[in-house]
Amino acid sequence: MHKAFKISVDGRSYNVVVEDLSEVDHPRAEPAPSLLAPVSAAPTPAAVAAPPAAAAAAGPGSEVAPLAGVVISIDVKTGQPVKVGDRIGVIEAMKMKTNIMAKHSGTVSNILVRPSDAVETGQAILTLA
């Protein structure tokens, strides 16, 4: 028994014929003439995600993202004093939330990201003075 399917790979559509060998009476099945045939219809454009936030260079007093992900929250405000170990925000990566803990003590002088911004590992998220 043959079944026809339409699949998409890298934005290109293909018609595929699959043979169910469990119902074949003979031990050797004949190969299908051509399993992949391009479909002439234009591929549907994929949704474009918002560009990630520009990575700020980490410098002295910078608190950085410990991993790549999406900023869920920034739990401090400009002018707020923080100590080593204080939670300064939350990043989500692969459906897991990770607390961002301060590695330095100081006063928040500049917040460089907002909730829903994508960040890379080591990207500065805020600076302390």
Contacts of 103 (CB under 8 A, 6+ apart): 63, 84
Q: What pLDDT shows up at residue 128?
A: 92
Q: Could you say which residues of the chain have pLDDT below 70?
A: 1, 21-60
Place of tokens 């400009």: 78
CB contact at 8 A, 57 and 124: yes
Q: What pLDDT shows up at residue 106?
A: 93
Distance (Å, whole) CA 1 – CA 104 = 67
Place of tokens 């699949």: 7
Distance (Å, whole) CA 26 – CA 59 = 71
**Token pair of 115, please?**
């909730």
What residues does CATH 2.40.50.100 cover in the chain?
62-128
Q: Which CATH architecture has domain 62-128?
A: Beta Barrel (2.40)
